[in-house]
Amino acid sequence: MQAAHSGSSTSIRTPVAVAERPRRLIPGPRTPLDPPRPRLYLVDGIRLIAALMVVVHHYAGTSRVDRPGNAIWDRPVSEIMPTVFRFASFGWIGVEIFFVISGFVICMSCWGRTPRQFFVSRVIRLYPAYWFAVLFTTGVLVLMPGVWERLPARDVLLNLTMLQAGSEVQNVDAVYWTLWSELRFYLLFLIVVAMGLTYRRVVVFCCVWGAAAMLAPVADFPLLVLVADPSAAWYFIAGLALYLMHRFGQDLLLWGILALCWLMGQRELAQRVDFEGVSSWRGAVLIFTVFLLVMVAIALGRTDRIRWKWLVTAGSLTYPLYLTHYLAGTTVIHRLRDTMDARLLVGLVTAAFLLLSWLVHRWVERPVSRRLKRGLDASFTRLRGAGRRA
C-alpha cells in the first residue's frame, strides 16, 4: 500500500527521520543550525497496524456472499466469529491510512533529492518484495488450486513490471490495485521533485492536484480521471500537508488543506462503505479521524519521545505482509478451515505471514535492493558520462 500503498528511500524498511520542532514563523529549508532529527518510530508502528487491519479484514471482515473471497469459509464470517467480524469489517480503512502515510513519507524522503535519486529510491523500495510476492502467490495457487483462479503465464510475467493495470491486465493478487495509485502519485510528484521541493511548490502541487481530483468525476475526460486519481488523491494530499506542517510548522493554509482532505475523504469513505457492504460510515469516519489526529500529533512533534526500537522491525514487515497475505493466506484458510477454531486459524495464518514478511525483508529486500542500487547508480553514471562525450 503504501502501503502502502509508506522513511527514507525505503519507507517501510527503516524508521522515519524527522525534524525536531524548531518552530519557524517563515517557511524555509532546514539549516545547519537545526537540531538533529530524531526517528519517527511511531509511523512504523502505524504502518504495521494498518497492514494488520487489511489482513484481518480479508480473513475475517467480509460477510456478503456475493463478495470475492467469501468462499474461504463455509458460511458468513459474521456467523462464525461475530465479535472478530465487528472489528475486522472496518479493516479496509488501512488502505486509506497507507495513502496518507505515503504522502507524508515520500515528501520527506524526497526533500533535497534529485529526480534520479527519487527514481532509484522508488525502484529499490518497491520491486524486490513485489517480485517475490508475484512469484510466491502464483506458486501457492499452482500448488493449492481450486480456491482462486490462476492467471496465465503471460499475465503473470506482465505483472512483474507492476504496470499491468495500464495494460488492462488482471493483478496476480487483488491487493496490487493500490500500487497503481502509488505509481501515479510518484509520477505526478516527480514533477515537483524535478523543480526542487519547497514549501510553496508543494502547496501549489496540493492545490492543483486537488482541483483536478475535484473536476475529474464530472469532466467526462478519462485521461484526467486516470491522472488525477480522485478516489485516492485526497489522502496523498493530506499526507503532503502533514509533512509540510511537520517541517515548517502549522499555519492556517495547511490546516485548511487538511480540513478539505478530511471533508472530501469522508465522502470517498462512504462510497467504500457501500462497496464493502460490511461496515458503517460513522465508524469508518471515526477511525479515519482518529488516525488523522494521531498524524497531526506526530507532525507537530507531540510523539517524538516514543523511540521504541522494536517498531523499526515492525515497520519493515508491512510491505511484504501486505503483498503476500491475501490470495495465499485465504487459500490456506480455505484448506484448513475445518481443522481448528476459526479465530485460532486466523491468528496462526497471520502470524505465519508476519514471519514470512520478516524473511522476505531480511533475505530478499535487503540484498536485492543493495544490488539494484549499485547497478542503477552505475547505469546513471555511465549515462551521464555518455551525454557529456556526445
Residues 6+ apart with CB under 8 A from 359: none
Nearest to 180 by CA among 193, 168, 194, 196: 168
**22-26, 94-98, 194-198, 385-389: which range is least confident on average?**
22-26
Average pLDDT in the 150-158 region? Answer: 96
Tally of CA atoms within 13 A in the half-sphere of 334 that contains its CB = 18
Tell me the pLDDT tens digit for each residue of 177-212. 999 999 999 999 999 999 999 999 999 999 999 999
Domain of 238, in residue numbers: 16-189+231-379
Q: Does residue 201 lie in a domain region?
A: no
All three cell numbers of 185 = 502519485
- CA pair distance 145, 143, nearest whole angstrom: 6
All three cell numbers of 247 = 517541517
Helix/strand/coil for 342:
helix
pLDDT confidence of residue 265: 95
Q: Does residue 334 lie in a domain region?
A: yes
CB 121 within 8 A of CB 106: no
DSSP conformation class of 23: -
**37-51, 133-147, 234-248, 341-355: which range is least confident on average?**
37-51
Number of structural domains the chain divides into? 1
What count of other Cβ atoms lies within 10 Å of the Cβ of residue 363?
11
All three cell numbers of 357 = 514478511
Q: Does residue 341 lie in a domain region?
A: yes
Q: Does residue 369 lie in a domain region?
A: yes
**pLDDT-derived band at 69, boundaries 50, 70, 90:** very low
| Average pLDDT over all residues of the chain | 88
Helix/strand/coil for 149:
coil
CB 58 within 8 A of CB 73: no
Backbone angles phi, psi at 146, to 5 degrees: 105, -10
CB 228 within 8 A of CB 212: yes
All three cell numbers of 329 = 493466506
Q: Does the reported pTM lie above 0.85?
A: yes
Q: Does residue 386 lie in a domain region?
A: no
Q: Does residue 61 lie in a domain region?
A: yes
pLDDT confidence of residue 13: 38
The identity of residue 174, as a single letter, is A
Q: Does residue 287 lie in a domain region?
A: yes
Residues 6+ apart with CB under 8 A from 23: 249
DSSP conformation class of 340: S
pLDDT confidence of residue 6: 39
Tell me the pLDDT tens digit for each residue of 290-343. 999 999 999 999 999 988 889 989 999 999 999 999 999 999 999 999 999 999
**75-84, 96-105, 350-359: which range is least confident on average?**
75-84
Q: Does residue 390 lie in a domain region?
A: no
Task: With a cut of 60, say whether residue 23 has pLDDT above it.
Answer: no
